[in-house]
Amino acid sequence: MITEKESRYLLKIYESYLQGMSSVGPQYMAEEMYVKRPSAYEVLQKLAKKGLLAKRRGKYSLTEDGIRLAEKILRSHRIIETMLYRAGVDLEKACECATKIQDKVDDDIIDKLCAYLGYPKTCPHGRPIPEVKK
């Protein structure tokens, strides 16, 4: 499994990937995550060891497992966020809370929440909620 910090990095890398960046380096991640380069490097190395990133010439790109996990976490994030938002939590707080627990809620619970919410297509930010791939 991955830690909360790793899940935040993974989502950021996935976001960059969706925007067309096929790989990222520690400097880029340090800037994106507001940390020092060695901290970013350490997390990238950990994700690579877990098989979620592939390292090539000092740059890291998502593996298939990495993409699958990022989509899963993103889905979890957006469903939790939607639920909290609909319950009256303001968007920023809902997003912050979802970030803390996005990697900890079991898939079957997320599936049930998704059904309960009426299979929302987008999160309260208006971003798409990835479909389940089994």
Question: Helix crossing, 4-18 with 37-49: angle to 10°?
Answer: 90
38/88 with CB nearer Zn ion: 88
Give the nearest distance from C-beta 80 to Zn ion in angstroms.
9
**Residue number, nearest CB to Zn ion:** 95
One residue of 11, 29, 79, 95 binding Zn ion per CB under 5 A = 95
Nearer to Zn ion, 16 or 45 (CB): 16
Ranges within 22-81 binding Zn ion (CB under 5 A): 81
Q: How far is the CB of 79 from Zn ion (least distance, A)?
A: 11
Phi, psi of 32 (to 5 degrees): -65, -35
Round to whole Å and give the CA distance between 124 and 31: 26
Distance of CA 129 to the CA centre of its chain: 12
